[in-house]
Amino acid sequence: MTALAAPTSAPDPGQGLGKTGIPRHVAIIMDGNGRWAHARALPRIAGHKQGVEAVRRVARAARDIGIDVLTLYAFSSENWRRPAEEVGDLMGLLRLFLKNEVDDLIRENVRLRVIGDYRALSDDLVRMIDTAIVRTADNSGPRLVIALNYGAQAEIAAAARHLAREVEQGSRAADTIDEAAIEGALATRDLPPLDLLIRTSGEQRLSNFLLWQAAYAELAFVDTLWPDFDEATLRGAVADFGRRQRRFGGL
Q: Is 79 an active-site residue?
A: yes
The residues facing 75 across adjacent strands are 148
Which domains can be identified in the chain, with CATH numbers? 25-242 (3.40.1180.10)
- pLDDT band for position 25 (cuts 50, 70, 90): very high
**Is 48 among the annotated ligand-binding positions?**
yes
Query: Residue type at 11?
Result: P
Q: What is the pLDDT of residue 251?
A: 57
**Is 80 among the annotated ligand-binding positions?**
yes
Average pLDDT over residues 31-51: 96
Catalytic pick among 12, 31, 100, 117? 31
Q: What is the pLDDT of residue 92?
A: 95
Q: What is the pLDDT of residue 250?
A: 64
Predicted model pTM: 0.89
Say if CB 99 and CB 110 are below 8 A apart. Answer: no
Whether the per-residue pLDDT at 226 is higher than 80: the answer is yes
Burial of 53 (0-12, 13-18, 19+ CB in 10 A): exposed
Catalytic pick among 12, 79, 109, 195? 79
Whether the per-residue pLDDT at 1 is higher than 50: the answer is no
